[in-house]
Structure 1
């Protein structure tokens, strides 16, 4: 009984240590959560498949669709036709500079759209990371408790993991690589 209380105390200390590290950051925590929610709403409308570049790249695809030659686009950009070809190659290679792409888009009466589109919601990403950290950190305590034959039932361990993860949600240390 005393050992189990000691192990539970260690578990509480681990959980409290994380929550104390982020105390006094209530306003910033709320702001981060609100920012995630706002971005999630804005980005949920974007279908990243629609924005995937054509195999030839956007510059070439738009230029061809408009019927512009490399010479003509080059004139609009104030560069040689070879520079347009180089731009198209660098875009396909993923090394074109945003400023150059923006100038090319403008020369073809287009807007350059640049965005990070999360694979899942930002809220889910943060929640999943919190669960990974909580499981990793509490696994150490659970192992010690199990070795001392004081292990908690699996349901209770998972409940503690979820509780700990909730306390980590807006802790910037959540993204530190702790081993």
Structure 2
């Protein structure tokens, strides 16, 4: 196996990981990585897109700098026979994120009330505090008040 073939196979492995849902931006960016995985030169991609080779180099740099447009990414993907996917991938399911925010807000609200009650010598038990946090969490998740995503 030639060095050129080994390098292309490494690029192919990187691209195939994304296909399985393991989406991490390659160090060289998606345009260059997929192009190299396909064994396609910048000039060949430029011809397929109907642009200059310089425009391909510019798009590859812009992708790394965070300045590439979605339209450019879409065009490059199509020219390479790929589908461009733009997505937000949460670390957990959405319900878990909402639950964590509700818990955070409920703890802050109940904690403030508990401090005031303790100052007036009316402190409640830890179990009663936890019950109130759970009750308030359910209420917040159901109502989703306008300030739900405000931390303060």
TM bucket (normalised to shorter chain) is 0.7 to 0.9
Q: Helix, strand or coil: the match of 2:22?
A: helix
Structure 1 counterpart of 2:48: 76
Q: Which runs of 5+ in 2 are unaligned?
A: 1-17
1:129 and 2:105 matched = no
1:102 and 2:74 matched = yes
Q: Normalized against structure 2, the TM-score is what? A: 0.81
Structure 2 counterpart of 1:173: 146
Pair 122,174 (structure 1): closer, same or farther in 2 beyond 3 Å: farther
Q: Which runs of 5+ in 1 are unaligned?
A: 1-45
1:8-47 to 2 correspondences below 5 Å: none
Structure 2 counterpart of 1:67: 39
| Conserved? CA contact 2:101–2:149, under 8 Å | no
Q: Which has the higher helix share?
A: 1
Shift of 1:68: 1.4
Q: Normalized against structure 1, the TM-score is what? A: 0.69
Pair 165,98 (structure 1): closer, same or farther in 2 beyond 3 Å: same
Structure 1 ranges of 4+ moved more than 3 A: 46-49
Superimposed CA distance per residue, residues 19-51 of structure 1 (whole angstroms, 9 cap, x where no aligned partner): xxxxxxxxxxxxxxxxxxxxxxxxxxx999711
- Cα distance between partner residues in 2 of 1:48 and 1:149: 58
Aligned residue pairs total 134
1:92 and 2:64 matched = yes
- Cα distance between partner residues in 1 of 2:28 and 2:104: 40
Q: Larger relative CO (CA 8 A, sep 6+): 1 or 2?
A: 1
Q: Helix, strand or coil: the match of 1:79?
A: coil
